[in-house]
Amino acid sequence: MKLLVLVCVLSVGVVFSVPAQKKDPKLDNTQIAKTKEIFNARCVRCHGIDGKGETELGARLHVPDFTADAWPEPGVTDADLASTIRTGRDEMPAFGKKLTRDEINHLIIYIHSLRKP
Ligand code: HEC
């Protein structure tokens, strides 16, 4: 019984010590091209090609401006953004079944890159 408890504690420790998301802020050119393609195909109608959300649908649904200084809101991590993309929120559709984890992580890196001129 003691051993079981120890094993449980250890495995919880392992799970929590693994970083929630591997930081990989650099995409190579192929990844950028592919991610841009996905963004243009699936996200642009609401979020706009520049991520500002200045589309008709974006304005109606109040999408966040990914290029604003105040975005993401304090305390919102990339893991939170990934979870929003996976499971959706309010009018934001869920993409967890349509996109792979890597595709979603690359989209987040891509979205962050839209801020730079
Ligand atoms: C039908 C319109 C629509 C589409 C298509 C859409 N989104 Fe969204 N998205 C929204 C709305 C609306 C919100 C704000 C949700 C809320 O918080 O109420 C949002 C929120 C988000 C957020 C969270 C922002 C934050 O500050 O927490 C991310 C990240 C995001 N979208 C990425 C994407 C990506 C990537 C795609 C394409 C794969 C996509 N969205 C497609 C409407 C859309």
Phi, psi of 51 (to 5 degrees): 80, 5
Q: Which of 92, 108, 115 to mutate to test the pocket of ligand 1 (most atoms within 8 A of CB)?
A: 92
Least confident range from 19-28, 61-70, 101-110: namely: 19-28
Q: Is residue 95 part of a domain?
A: yes
Q: Which of 39, 45, 47, 60 to mutate to test the pocket of ligand 1 (most atoms within 8 A of CB)?
A: 47
pLDDT average, residue stretch 2-25: 52
pLDDT of residue 8: 46
Q: Is residue 89 part of a domain?
A: yes
Q: Is residue 9 part of a domain?
A: no
Give which of 102, 93, 99, 107 is closest to 63, Cα–Cα. Answer: 93
Domain count of the chain?
A: 1
Q: Is residue 14 part of a domain?
A: no
Ligand 1 center from residue 7 Cα (angstroms):
40
* Band of residue 26 on the pLDDT scale cut at 50, 70, 90: confident
Q: What tokens appear for 96 in the block?
A: 């967890």
What residues form DSSP beta bridges with 89? 92
pLDDT average, residue stretch 97-113: 97
**Domain limits at 64?**
26-113
User: Cα–Cα distance between 117 and 109 in angstroms, integer?
Assistant: 15
Least confident range from 1-10, 48-57, 92-101: namely: 1-10
* Contact criterion met (CB below 8 Å) for 109 and 24: yes
- Say which CATH number the domain at 109 has: 1.10.760.10
